[in-house]
Amino acid sequence: MQISLEFFPPKTESAQASLADTARTLARLHPQYVSVTYGAGGSTREGTLSTVTQMQGIFQKVAPHVSCIGASTEEMTSLLTDYQSKGISRLVALRGDLPSGYGQGGAFAHAEDLVCFIRQSFGQAFEIEVAAYPEIHPQAKTAQDDLRHFVNKVKAGANGAITQYFFNSDAYFRFVDEAYQQGIDIPITPGIMPITNYSQLARFSDACGADIPRWIRQRLAGFGDDVASIRAFGQEVITDLVDQLVTAGVPGLHFYTMNRAEPTLAIVDALGLKGQPG
């Protein structure tokens, strides 16, 4: 099974040290690559760069996320040239979300523009992953519009897609079928979010449009502050979801690790999955 792992740039030195421990523990999964998120508006440019360098000391392939909203073509060229010189050959190309208070601005309105720009300016120097939304991007006018934009973004030159996390596998299967009917054939890898903290998950899900089914919400809410029960139930739910996805033959699994090793390891180990480096 192709496994990829996502990390975010830590804010403090001690969190940076503990991320190194997490990463070394997760290295036994032999991920195809690991990715490092990027703050839109360039807010974690340095953090992303230093975390990418740190991860290159532990993993063979590291894919920085690059978000284009608010960036000029000169800034983007400088960032990508820097990555190229550091031996990076894979990117996760995103529009990103500007923090409130920022104007629109910048040379790129959508991720599709960034994918076009990378192909025009850097040819095939990078493998490009883009984002996909089985439960529909929250700003999309309609589901059909969103699918059309996704297909165009892929046709602009993406090699693969990673989905927003979801708890309902039907949404993923339908999305993949519909995308393939539109003539694309890249791997669409499900993004997997382990459940460890209800209030944080509810906040993220409200912001990104991921649906937490009522039966999951109610049970998690009912555990109150009982963290052990939340984690045990969350692990069961996500292990079942991953089992369904693997049985259906998904092209890989992308884990949103939240910079922690145990929740991802618990799921992978429960199913006896073996990573396969790319």
Q: Can you give 28-57 as a three-state secondary structure string?
A: HHCCCEEEECCCHHHCCHHHHHHHHHHHHC
Residue 141 Cβ, how far from ligand FAD at the closest point, in Å?
Answer: 8
3-state secondary structure of 9: coil
Q: Using CB under 6 A as the criterion, which residues of the chain lie in contact with ligand FAD when the complex forms? A: 37-38, 40, 65, 67, 92, 94-97, 110-112, 131, 137, 139-140, 145-146, 149, 153, 162, 164, 191
Nearer residue to ligand FAD within complex by CB, 111 or 212? 111
Nearer residue to ligand FAD within complex by CB, 20 or 140? 140
Active site residues per annotation: 6
Of 47, 58, 41, 56, nearest to 261 by C-alpha is 58
Nearer residue to ligand FAD within complex by CB, 45 or 231? 45
Residues in Cβ contact with 15 at an 8 Å cutoff, skipping those fewer than 6 apart: 259
Bridge partners of 130, per DSSP, are 93, 161
CB-facing half-sphere around the CA of 124: CA atoms within 13 A? 1
Write the burial class of residue 192 (CB in 10 Å: 0-12 exposed, 13-18 middle, 19+ buried).
buried
Residue 27 Cβ, how far from ligand FAD at the closest point, in Å?
Answer: 21
Residue 152 Cβ, how far from ligand FAD at the closest point, in Å?
Answer: 6
Nearer residue to ligand FAD within complex by CB, 190 or 230? 190
Residue 67 Cβ, how far from ligand FAD at the closest point, in Å?
Answer: 4
* Direct distance between the N- and C-terminal alpha carbons of the chain, in angstroms, rounded to an integer: 10
Residue 35 Cβ, how far from ligand FAD at the closest point, in Å?
Answer: 8
Q: CA-to-CA distance for 149 and 143, rounded, in angstroms?
A: 10
Q: CA-to-CA distance for 19 and 55, rounded, in angstroms?
A: 9
Nearer residue to ligand FAD within complex by CB, 191 or 194? 191
